[in-house]
């Protein structure tokens, strides 16, 4: 499916973004013990692993090459996007053609590459692992535990800004003030509706120190000059190499933009948000909807 098909005058003159990086090597400590022996990115959100929604968003936006940053114990991600000959043969033998189609489609979505982050040193370090894959092109970053439910896809909203300005773009959303300590927060200068120039960025500020309530969420368009900065970035907040710290230095060299994303975000690395995401996607299934709503009503009645 082509991404947003509206014609923009600058699009044909600019560099196109065709590569994406999905960091998925984090330890998932907020979701223990579920994530002790399985990646949080593979937790099923209704009927698909979380990371499949992310890959489908990239494909819907016209991305053709995806690098997933994995780590120890994350082999199931690689297996999920590979062919499964034995399973396919079994489904074929039992005449389960619908299931066979679903299973096959996953491995034919896009060109998929994998690299291991040998130690979970932080998001900035995970992005640095993509240096050889990216080369000299701009690239999209999707966090593997952030599902964005939106039309047009969240990354297409950022690509529109890239097409117009040819500079790094951060996806942001308004977060409650008491939650600023969970996000990278920008100091915005409004350029237009939902479009900002980033004046400064702070990683996980306390609510009274936050320069705004615009939190960086799991979508970015980045440029390869960031790698040289990441190579020199030392561990910051939480002892991790932070992407926000590197972006702060990049901002001194070139303009960085932020786009207020429209749509619903599900941070499935958080248990409560994971349950909400599962419910939201289950309710989209016409075969499941009535039964789930009836059960929810039962649960609510029991609470009263």
Q: Which residues bind ligand UTP (CB under 6 A)?
A: 23-31, 69, 117, 120-123, 125-126, 143-145, 269
Cα separation, 211 vs 209, whole angstroms? 6
The nearest distance, CB 267 to ligand UTP, in angstroms, is 7
Residue closer to ligand UTP, measured from CB, 11 or 48: 48
Residue closer to ligand UTP, measured from CB, 138 or 269: 269
Any idea what the Cα angle at residue 76 is, between residues 244 and 96, rounded to 5°? 130
Q: Which residues contact 66 (CB under 8 A, 6 or more apart)?
A: 19, 20, 21, 22, 55, 58, 110, 111, 112, 113
Residue closer to ligand UTP, measured from CB, 29 or 97: 29
The nearest distance, CB 43 to ligand UTP, in angstroms, is 12
The nearest distance, CB 217 to ligand UTP, in angstroms, is 10
Report the first-to-last Cα separation within the chain, whole angstroms: 46
The nearest distance, CB 122 to ligand UTP, in angstroms, is 5
Residue closer to ligand UTP, measured from CB, 91 or 268: 268
The nearest distance, CB 248 to ligand UTP, in angstroms, is 18
Residue closer to ligand UTP, measured from CB, 50 or 186: 50
Tokens of 241: 């190499």
- What Cα–Cα distance (Å) separates residue 46 from each residue in 53, 64, 108, 178, 244? 11, 26, 22, 30, 32
């Amino acid at each position: 499916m082509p991404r947003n098909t509206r014609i923009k005058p600058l699009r044909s003159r600019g560099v196109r973004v065709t590569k994406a990086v999905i960091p998925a090597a984090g330890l998932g400590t907020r979701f223990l013990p579920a994530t002790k022996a399985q990646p949080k990115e593979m937790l099923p959100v209704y009927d698909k692993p979380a990371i499949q929604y992310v890959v489908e968003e990239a494909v819907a936006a016209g991305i053709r090459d995806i690098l997933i940053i994995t780590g120890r114990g994350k082999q199931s991600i690689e297996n999920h996007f590979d062919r499964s000959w034995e399973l396919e043969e079994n489904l074929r033998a039992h005449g389960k053609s619908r299931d066979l189609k679903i299973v096959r489609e996953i491995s034919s979505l896009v060109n998929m590459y994998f690299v291991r982050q040998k130690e979970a040193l932080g998001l900035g370090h995970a992005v640095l692992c993509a240096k050889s894959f990216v080369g000299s092109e701009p690239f999209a970053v999707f966090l593997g535990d952030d599902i964005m439910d939106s039309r047009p896809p969240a990354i297409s909203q950022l690509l529109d800004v890239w097409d117009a300005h040819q500079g790094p773009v951060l996806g942001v959303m308004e977060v409650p003030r008491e939650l600023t300590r969970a996000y990278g927060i920008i100091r915005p200068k409004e350029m237009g509706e939902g479009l900002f120039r980033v004046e400064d960025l702070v990683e996980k500020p306390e609510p009274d120190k936050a320069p705004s309530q615009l939190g960086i969420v799991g979508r970015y368009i980045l440029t390869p000059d960031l790698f040289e900065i990441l190579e020199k970035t030392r561990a910051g907040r939480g002892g991790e190499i932070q992407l926000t710290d590197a972006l702060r230095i990049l901002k001194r060299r070139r303009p960085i933009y932020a786009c207020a994303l429209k749509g619903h975000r599900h941070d499935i690395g958080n248990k409560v948000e994971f349950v909400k995401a599962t419910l939201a996607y289950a309710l989209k299934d016409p075969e499941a909807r009535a039964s789930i709503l009836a059960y929810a009503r039962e649960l609510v009645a029991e609470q009263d």
